[in-house]
């Protein structure tokens, strides 16, 4: 499970405050690296990794890795086993249905809340991201597709600066992304359909209902249909 190595090591510090700051920065960088790995599907559901292995890959001590993994386990994105091994939980039909239902409840709502804060510049940025997504769908680059799809949705959601709904949705994405990466590995990307263009148009027009409808359809027709099909055939 390759994770991109980031510049995690800090130079020596001379004060307790400096040491604490360095540890905090390292933990934050580890958090970003592991969350990015989950969202890009670099963790395979059911396949265990070790804290020491992740620490070695990221070039840090096991302590910040352990802290980050415990936090992600609290968000139901990972399971930490008694022997220290870590894995993404296996996806079951019941768990999938619950995550899908939660997304359909929360994400259209947050998109509507975001709309008054989105500008023409934001719509242009969404269009640029969607153009890159279209290229990924043609080329079959599933990992890049997942990264860009996340960027598209959260470019809308983050406009709310929500302290409640946004973390909940972030947690949901961490829970379903690894499974969906395995789905794309089976079916490819050429057949994927999204409703991004309808969402962009709704942002341009300031149409709340159209944006809600586009986001809900994007979730149900993307994650929903493909995920259910794979789980039904498992």
Report whether pLDDT(20) > 60: no
**126-162 residue pLDDT tens:** 999 999 999 999 999 999 999 999 999 999 999 999 9
Predicted structure pTM score: 0.84
Closest CA to 45 of 88, 3, 85, 4: 88
- The superfamily (CATH) of domain 93-233 is GntR ligand-binding domain-like (1.20.120.530)
Residue range(s) of every CATH 1.10.10.10 domain in the chain: 16-87
Closest CA to 160 of 111, 108, 213, 218: 111
Domain 16-87 fold: Arc Repressor Mutant, subunit A (1.10.10)
3 band by pLDDT with thresholds 50, 70 and 90: low
Residue range(s) of every CATH 1.20.120.530 domain in the chain: 93-233
**191-217 residue pLDDT tens:** 788 999 999 999 999 999 999 999 999
Report whether pLDDT(17) > 70: no
Q: Rounded mean pLDDT of the chain? A: 87
What is the pLDDT, as a whole number, of residue 208? Answer: 97
What is the pLDDT, as a whole number, of residue 12? Answer: 41
């Amino acid at each position: 499970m390759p994770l991109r190595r980031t510049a995690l090591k800090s130079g020596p510090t001379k004060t307790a405050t400096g040491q604490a700051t360095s540890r905090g920065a390292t933990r934050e960088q580890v958090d970003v690296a592991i969350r990015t790995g989950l969202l890009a599907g670099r963790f395979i559901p059911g396949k265990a990794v070790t804290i020491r292995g992740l620490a070695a890959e990221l070039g840090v001590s096991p302590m910040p890795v352990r802290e980050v993994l415990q936090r992600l386990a609290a968000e139901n994105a990972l399971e930490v086993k008694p022997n220290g091994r870590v894995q993404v939980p296996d996806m079951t039909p019941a768990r999938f249905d619950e995550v899908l239902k939660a997304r359909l409840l929360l994400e259209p709502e947050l998109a509507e809340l975001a709309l008054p804060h989105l500008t023409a510049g934001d719509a242009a940025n969404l269009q640029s991201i969607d153009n890159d997504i279209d290229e990924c769908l043609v080329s079959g680059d599933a990992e890049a597709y997942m990264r860009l799809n996340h960027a598209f949705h959260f470019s809308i959601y983050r406009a709310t600066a929500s302290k409640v709904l946004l973390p909940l949705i972030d947690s949901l994405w961490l829970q379903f992304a690894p499974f969906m990466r395995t789905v794309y590995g089976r079916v490819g990307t050429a057949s994927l359909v999204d409703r991004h263009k309808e969402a962009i148009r709704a942002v341009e027009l300031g149409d709340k209902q159209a944006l809600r409808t586009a986001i809900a359809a994007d979730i149900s027709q993307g994650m929903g249909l493909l995920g259910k099909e794979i789980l039904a055939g498992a």
